Amino acid sequence: MSTPRAPRMSVEARRAQLIEVGQQVFSERAYDDVSTDELSQLAGISKGLLYHYFGNKRGFYVATIRAVAEEFAAAVSPTPEGDVAAAMLETLSSFLDFIEARPTLYRALIRGGVGADSEVEAIVEGLRRLEATRVLERVGVTDPDPVLWLKVYGWVGFAEAASLGWLEQTAASGERLVSREVLIGLLVEALAAALGPHLEIV
């Protein structure tokens, strides 16, 4: 009796499986350090099939970055109810959890691992605007004036830069030179300054 074949994966399921491989690979190594041949081998498919789903290596990388951005957006979102200050602190803690678990991918997401790439830049810009909007909405501001918007949007950029610097400030022992608590304190102070009377948590 012949062994029944496993059901064929749908296009969506196969793409999701391949993106999982991409996240694993690119969380450990930079874009330029991984060849297309190696990617297809790690994914257990032919290079032609990788091209079929994503066009080329860059397409695969951009799809991976987009998936990371979506996971980031889902993981780093203020709780809609309860104390605002507590929600912001919890969100910042989730933010650091995320980037510590995926430091290489986070660097690639923010810095654009393939150079000046318009698709990656659009993904990152959309994420920045989403986070700024979420912060404002959580403190009850749905129609911010241009100055307040710039302050909060600028704070998102500050949080990115500070967190990247924090990831790189590591002692020879592997310990952070600045603790999570200190970093969160800096981010909270900057956020309170940006929001002014809309958020008093310092």
Successive 10-residue mean pLDDT values, the chain, 202 residues: 51 85 84 87 85 89 90 87 86 93 84 69 92 93 94 96 91 84 95 82 45
Pair (106, 135) in one structural domain:
yes
**Is the Cα dihedral 39, 110, 123, 93 positive or negative?**
positive
pTM of the model: 0.81
Res 186: pLDDT: 96
- Please check whether residue 117 lies inside any domain of the structure: yes
**Separation CA 197–CA 74 (nearest Å):** 28
Q: Which residues pair with 176 in a beta bridge?
A: 170
Domain count, the chain: 2
Q: How far apart are CA 175 and CA 149, in angstroms?
A: 36
Question: pLDDT at position 129, please?
Answer: 95
In whole angstroms, give the CA distance from residue 151 to residue 199. Answer: 13
The predicted structure's pLDDT at residue 70: 92
* CA end-to-end span of the chain: 72
189 and 100 share a domain?
yes
Same domain for 76 and 16: no
User: 155 and 108: one domain?
Assistant: yes
Q: How many CB atoms lie within 10 A of CB 77?
A: 15
What confidence score (pLDDT) does residue 90 get?
A: 92
Q: Are residues 17 and 77 in the same domain?
A: no
Same domain, 95 and 179: yes
Q: Which residue range is the domain that position 151 belongs to? A: 66-198
Do residues 72 and 98 lie in contact, with contact meaning Cβ atoms separated by under 8 Å?
yes
User: What CATH number does residue 34 fall under?
Assistant: 1.10.10.60
What one-letter code names the amino acid at 34?
V
Radius of gyration of the chain (CA): 20
